[in-house]
Amino acid sequence: MGLTALLARVATGAPVPVFAVAGPGTRSLIRDLRLRPEIRLVDTPRPASVLLVGGLVPAEMEMAVARVHDAMAHPRATVLWSAGAAGLGRPEGFDDAIPVDGDPVAACVAAYRDILVGRRGSEPPILPDVDPAPWRGVGPYGQGGSGMTGGVPYGRPMAELGPDPDGLRLDVLPVAVGPLFPRFPAGLVVDARLAGDLVLEVEVANLLANATAAAPSPEADPFLRALGERVAIADLELARARAHLRSVAEALLAAGLEALALRALRIAANLRAGDGALVRRLATIISATQVLRWSLRGVGAVPPEAVAGLGAGPVARASGLREDLRLEDPAYRDLGFAPLVDAGGDAAARLRLRLGEAVQSLDLAARAGARAATATGRVETPRGRLEAESSASERLFTVLPSLLREHEWGDVVATIVSLDLDLEEGPLARGRARPEAAA
């Protein structure tokens, strides 16, 4: 056996580096894959050997998925995971991808082993084979510029001088991040002008704003069902607690606390109505790390007037607003429900509130018995008010630029993570509301 073959066989025993793309309804399923030791979810496509695409990718996202695929180094393979969706769409150009209905991790491991030992060839590029340096030969020096400056020298826009809040004039560089950056919700593009790591100006785009998703959530999401039918309060509150813990895990990952993030995900994956003590213990440990005080205090502060009336759920309640649709439901009033409120308004307050609401939801689930929530055509999800016409995340999206401007990039990421936006929730609700979707 040659040295290359020997090293390839040894490599097959290591965790598979996977870059995952979550189609509508697969967000939590993809998050939970971090608990599987056979794979390692990576945050950029370059070090990945397998691209895992969950669910049905909207047409608006197919080009972004193709770019991610072509950014992966060779050898590479793609696994298309139906994740319980009705049928399995194959994005254009992914002719060599491996479809799977069952365990996606086993499929990723098998694909990785096959490409390493030569049983499967590396996938070719999907996008047209064009010169990756279209600037080559342009300008008097062949570097893509006009003279010593101007244009896009070496394929990069030239930084321009601009004022910053301290009254200085610094180099300002345009940078666009998204729509598949793992720390951001799928579909979000942040187009920023940076002076160093300070965001001077920012625009945001939602690529899923006009998307539709006819397939229901693969988890049979109880909140989507509650839009049109009575759903047991115990089911809703257990799902709420799980969602909050997954959101907390994302915040911990963004803060560099991976071990604690995995702990939160493990609790969420095995959550039962009597597990409030586990969540309280997790909250105590998080508090002891001082991440709430050092990393998140004062970050992404949301003034109450900015979100009043938006039905922004935990974001509004963490800014001191007592907004919660459950207050209007007689079944919840019978349980003595009262919303938790935190006046801090920042990322730390939102993390505290979600931990507190997770404990509260577990208590409600334990006491709810056979009670069911009233079906009114709208429901309080873990992110706020969901209706067939719009979601809390879509309404909160309108105030996002004002929360990000003139903050350091690290705080911008922490702010977006703490808001727990889900731009897929609205399209899923609208898809469920269409008669052909229900059929």
pLDDT in tens, 135-162: 666 766 666 666 555 556 655 665 566 6
Quick check: 120 pLDDT over 70? yes
The percent of the chain in helix, strand and coil, each rounded to the nearest 5, is 40, 15, 45
Angle at 275 between CA 271 and CA 278, to 5 degrees: 105
Q: Are residues 113 and 226 in the same domain?
A: no
- pLDDT exceeds cutoff 50 at 286: yes
As given in the structure block, the two tokens for residue 294 are: 């050092």
Separation between Cα atoms, residue 367 and residue 355, nearest integer Å = 19
What pLDDT score does 25 carry? 79
Maximum C-alpha span of the chain:
77
Task: Compute the distance between CA of residue 435 and CA of residue 114 in angstroms, rounded to an integer.
Answer: 44
pLDDT digits (tens, 9 = 90+) for 182-238: 999 999 999 999 888 889 899 999 998 887 664 444 456 899 999 989 999 999 999
Q: Region 243-269: what's the mean pLDDT? A: 95
Distance (Å, whole) CA 348 – CA 298: 8
Q: At what angle do helices 347-367 and 276-288 cross, to 10 degrees?
A: 170
Residue 134 confidence (pLDDT) above 70 = no
Of all residues in the chain, the percent with pLDDT exceeding 90 is 65
Whether residue 331 is contained in a domain is answered as: yes
**One domain, residues 105 and 233:** no
Whether residue 253 has pLDDT greater than 60: yes
Is position 188 within any domain?
no
Task: In whole angstroms, give the CA distance from residue 147 to residue 324.
Answer: 60
Name the domain count of the chain.
Answer: 2
The model's pTM: 0.89
Which of the four pLDDT bands, split at 50, 70 and 90, describes residue 1? low
Strands 16-22 and 39-41, by their bridges, are parallel
Report the SS3 class of residue 99: strand
Structural domain of residue 82, as residue ranges? 3-117
Q: Flag whether pLDDT at 379 surpasses 60.
A: yes
Average pLDDT over residues 241-250: 97
106 in a structural domain: yes
Q: Residue 358: which residues within 8 A CB-CB, separation 6 or more? A: 240, 241, 244, 245, 248, 279
Domain containing residue 358: CATH number: 1.10.645.10
